[in-house]
Amino acid sequence: MTERESLDARLAAERARWREAGLERELVLASNALVDFTSNDYLGLARHRQVIEAGREALREYGAGGRASRLLGGGSPFDERAEEALARWLGAEAALLFPSGYQANVGVVQALIGPGDVLLSDELNHASLIDAGRVARARTVVYRHADPEDLARKLADVGAAARVLVATESVFSMDGDLAPLAELARAARARGAWLLVDEAHALGVLGASGAGAWSLLEGEFDDVLAARVVTGGKALGVTGAFVVGSTALRRHLLQRARSFVFTTAVSPAVSGALCAAIELAKRADDARARLAKLARELAHGLGAPTPAAAIVPVVLGSETRALDAARAALAAGLDARAVRPPTVPAGTSRLRLVCHAFNDDADLERLFAVVRPLLASHPSRELPRGGAGAGAVAGAGASARELERAEPRTHDRERRGTRAAPLVVAGTDTGIGKTVVSALLARAALAHGGGAYWKAVQTGDESDTRAVASLAATRTFEPGAWFAKPASPHEAARAEGKSVDVERLGGKLRENLAELGVGTLIVELAGGLAVPWTDAFTQLDWLARERWPLVLVARSGLGTLNHTLLSLEALRARHLEPRALFLVGEPHPSNRATLAELGRVARILEVPTFESLSTAALDAWIARHDLSGVFEA
């Protein structure tokens, strides 16, 4: 077998595992024969005659391609015309056009912050914002979804960073809820931080003249606004994206935003069409009102919370149910797509329904006929989101003060009793006490909705599963993989002529969660964070991909500072924040104080060496420590 064939065989096997787990994706082209409940063309401008004609005129005048980066003479005069029109619409000094929203988010974050700075990011932010933090190489701290109190706590812990940036979507792309922008801005202002707001799903839909959710604040917090990102491919019906802010910001991006500097300008057809779409969107008040009315009726008809804008998610839980629902919609002539992990958290696969100004009441009735029977047989799961209050008020064009009075947001971790959730126990090294901490957490989980234990990969003859079962008197699942050699998983598997099947481990974890039903599944990793499962995939890669909540375990004594600080840095570079740091061994006050100061972990718990390691000893330790934040953070 050639190297090419070997790679293709591996890729095919990986795809087969994704297919078996219900996660494989296919390109499915949109069809004019289907009723659109899936695209982001909220106002119907993608097919508007004036937008199409404007694109054609730009093509005829300046040609098909952008030809080069704008700094090398690429693009057309329509680029600056679109930027100026967009800035006037949003009441900003300037804007800069990028080829895509992904490039805009990566570019602005990377240009504003870097090593030594801190990015605070909502845990449900779009992938482009997550990747932007990685590219910037700033320390990333994740705050709970739409939770300004958690943001304020974490802002207080960031230390003396050179620059602190808070990033949020205004309307979230998968849940459709509205961020509490006033409260987030107030928390940023108190810390001297800056705010970046991604308005992709709010532009053209919310605010006076469709100027977005930020415009609802009426300028009250503009002093902390670093930038807004608005896309041309949603309500504007074209493509591309703008970073909107001050003239100084635009000039800075021209120098520092690598995803702008080193990319070809958009086609003249794009910027020409955007010029027309901006003018139409500003005047589309009737279309906005109709869109809001249809979205409210859709949500009400499905028993969902009032949407903030146009997105109405129907959470069905499993990947299979979501795919079955999408197929049923397709059979009825409706384009309604299933969204599955990793786009959304495991257990929250859904139909992401989107209303448009061109939908009508008959379209809604056809959709109700498909979705209502599914909900009647399997009630929809509650979304990881806040109540309807803020969304409903914002959708009606609320002022900043009305937004502040909207119903406070809560988070799905406060409702975790409705389904099982994982909690990963990761470590800075091997032999540091992860299994003892896992037993403590498995034992404590019994008082927090129930729980169980699972070792992802076991190597060597000793069974951590049996040890936890004995100490915690709790339910356990068989290890996802077990190899006899006491070595790293990839080496232990190679000794048996095998390899760790990463996709199978992910599928097994989801199976265990489904079987557990409610409570917390304690998942223990092997060795340190970066221990390899295969030649090309580490445990850290798995954590970054799956994004499960986690705790970090380290030794308390000599050598812990370097290992622990580097482990925290590795996690945060991947947009991961441990709920707690467990220090195992004889208490070391100096190390604990240093880690609290430099590591900036909100919760540090010390686990001493037990004179007699027993269930009673675990219970005594648990009785002296508040672990509610570990299970419900």
User: What CA–CA distance (Å, rounded) separates 279 from 204?
Assistant: 11
SS3 label, residue 423: strand
Catalytic residue among 169, 183, 363, 546: 169
Catalytic residue among 234, 411, 455, 490: 234
Tokens 């030809």 belong to: 67
User: What residues contact 619, with CB distance under 8 A and at least 6 apart?
Assistant: 443
The token pair that represents 313 in the structure block: 């998610």
The DSSP H or E segment spanning 354 is strand 349-354
Please say if 40 is a catalytic residue: yes
The token pair that represents 516 in the structure block: 């557990």
Question: Across the beta sheet with 475-477, what order do the strands follow?
Answer: 475-477, 451-455, 520-528, 421-427, 550-555, 581-584, 604-607
Tokens 């707690």 belong to: 580
User: What CA–CA distance (Å, rounded) separates 311 from 476?
Assistant: 40
Please say if 169 is a catalytic residue: yes
Please say if 363 is a catalytic residue: no
Closest C-alpha to 168, from 148, 153, 149: 148
Per the CB < 8 A criterion, the answer to whether 178 and 311 are in contact is: no
Catalytic residue among 40, 271, 380, 556: 40
The number of C-alpha atoms within 13 Å of 557 and in the hemisphere containing its C-beta is 7
Per the CB < 8 A criterion, the answer to whether 380 and 349 are in contact is: no
The token pair that represents 306 in the structure block: 């009032």
Per the CB < 8 A criterion, the answer to whether 69 and 99 are in contact is: no
Per the CB < 8 A criterion, the answer to whether 191 and 202 are in contact is: no
Please say if 434 is a catalytic residue: no
Catalytic residue among 100, 125, 173, 488: 173
The token pair that represents 560 in the structure block: 């812990």
Catalytic residue among 36, 41, 175, 198: 198
Per the CB < 8 A criterion, the answer to whether 392 and 405 are in contact is: no
Please say if 267 is a catalytic residue: no
Please say if 173 is a catalytic residue: yes
User: What CA–CA distance (Å, rounded) separates 308 from 137?
Assistant: 33
Angle of helix 615-623 relative to helix 434-445, nearest 10 degrees, comes to 70
The token pair that represents 133 in the structure block: 């933090």
Closest C-alpha to 428, from 540, 567, 565, 542: 567
Catalytic residue among 48, 145, 154, 201: 201
Closest C-alpha to 221, from 178, 173, 166: 166
Per the CB < 8 A criterion, the answer to whether 414 and 387 are in contact is: no
Catalytic residue among 126, 356, 455, 588: 126
Please say if 234 is a catalytic residue: yes
Phi–psi pair at 386, nearest 5 degrees:
-85, -175
**197 - beta bridge partners?**
168, 228
Which residues are marked as active site? 40, 126, 169, 173, 198, 201, 234
